Amino acid sequence: MKGIILLPHPFQRIGWIVFLPTVLLGLLMAIDGFNGFPSFLLADGVTTSPTLNAACNNIALIGVLLGSLLITCSRERIEDELIARIRLNALLAALYATIGIAVVAALMLYDLAYLYFMIFNLCLLPVLFLVIERAMLWRLRKEASHEE
């Protein structure tokens, strides 16, 4: 049986370099109401072009998705069966949580609020997978250090 096809470990660092600034940009855009480049970062009276706003939207969305993909699909320094099991469990937990949240949102949100949620939901699965996987790996390393 062939192993899981994963990216080399150095791609994980590239993923963090892409992920962190684009998450920050996305959060700033969310605070500003998803109107493109955050207006509260600009001087009074300065406006942005629609092209810049569209570019900011795309940079934030693609950066979060690509960064989380590079982080989660890169090998760990020591890749073994336990790490593969953690990766699978984290993916299943993230999938269950994402579907549960989407069902609740479909029942409770309407119109523009639902559209905003769907934008958020687009990035939820890979980001949730990243958070759960990193938490499980952190817990594994902490337990291993206590045994030594």
Give the C-alpha distances (Å, rounded to integers) separating 33 from 39, 44, 65, 112, 116.
Answer: 10, 18, 20, 11, 9
Kindly list the averaged pLDDT for each block of 10 residues, start to end, along the chain of length 148.
Answer: 79 95 89 75 69 84 92 88 90 93 89 83 90 92 80
In a domain? residue 1: no
In a domain? residue 66: yes
DSSP assignment letter at 77: S
In a domain? residue 2: no
In a domain? residue 44: yes
**Whole-number pLDDT of residue 1:** 40
Show which of 27, 49, 75 is a domain's final residue.
75
| Whole-number Å distance between alpha carbons of 58 and 120 | 13
Number of Cβ within 10 Å of residue 58's Cβ equals 10
Prediction pTM value: 0.77
Show which of 40, 75, 110 is a domain's final residue.
75
In a domain? residue 52: yes
Phi, psi of 7 (to 5 degrees): -75, 155
The whole domain housing 131 covers 77-148
**Whole-number pLDDT of residue 45:** 61
In a domain? residue 50: yes
